[in-house]
Homo-oligomer: A and B are copies of this chain.
Amino acid sequence: MEVRNRIVTTRKAIDEFPVESDFEVKCEDFVVLVKSGSDDIIVKNLYVSIDPYQINRMKSFSSTHKTSDFATPIIPSQPIDALGVGEVLASGNPEFKEGDIVIGITHWAEYSVVKAHTNLLRKLETLGFPLTHHLGILGFSGLTAYAGLFEVAKIKEGETVFVSAASGSVGSLVGQFAKLHGCYVVGCAGSDQKVTLLKEKFGFDNAFNYKQEKDLTATLEKYFPDGIDVYFDNVGGEMLEAAIANMKPFGRVAVCGVISEYTNSKKAVPNMIDLVYKRIKVEGFLAGDFLDMFPNFVSKVSQYLHSGKIEPLEDISVGVENIPSAFIGLFKGDNIGKKIVKFAE
CB within 8 Å of B: which residues of A? 56, 62-64, 67-68, 70-71, 227, 236, 240, 245, 249, 255-258, 261-262, 267-286, 289
Q: Roughly how many angstroms separate A210 CA and B88 CA in the complex, as a whole number?
A: 58
User: What's the minimum C-beta distance from A290 to chain B, rounded to whole angstroms?
Assistant: 11
Give, as a whole number of angstroms, the nearest-CB distance from A148 to chain B: 11
- In the complex, residue of chain B having the shortest beta-carbon distance to the beta carbon of A260: B272
Docked Cα-Cα span, A12 to B183, in Å, equals 43
**Is B245 a contact of A278 with CB atoms below 8 Å?**
no
Residues of chain B within 8 A of A70, CB atoms compared: 277
Report which of B258, B278, B281, B289 forms a contact with A273, defined as CB distance below 8 A. Answer: B258
Residues on B with C-beta less than 8 A from A269 are 267-269
Decide: B278 and A62 in contact? CB cutoff 8 A. no
Which B residues touch A256, using CB under 8 A? 276
Of B64, B71, B279, which is within 8 A of A286 by CB? Answer: B279
A64-B261 in contact (CB<8A)? no
In the complex, what residue of chain B is closest to A275 when comparing beta carbons? Answer: B284
- Contact between A276 and B272, CB atoms less than 8 A apart: no
**Apart from A255-B272, A267-B272, 7 more pairs, CB < 8 Å:** A68-B278, A257-B276, A274-B284, A276-B285, A277-B284, A278-B284, A279-B289
Residues of B within 8 A of A283 (CB): 279-282
How close is A253's CB to chain B, nearest CB, in angstroms? 9
Query: Which residues of B are found within 8 Å of A261, using beta-carbon distances?
Result: 272-273
Distance (whole angstroms) from the CB of A69 to the closest CB of chain B: 9
A-B contact pairs, 7 of them (CB 8 A): A67-B227, A255-B272, A261-B272, A267-B271, A268-B269, A279-B283, A279-B289
The answer on a CB contact under 8 Å between B284 and A280 is yes
A276 touches B249 (CB 8 A): no
Q: How far is the CA of A243 from the CA of B282 in the complex (A)?
A: 15
Bound Cα distance from A48 to B285, whole angstroms: 43
A162 shortest CB reach to chain B, Å: 16
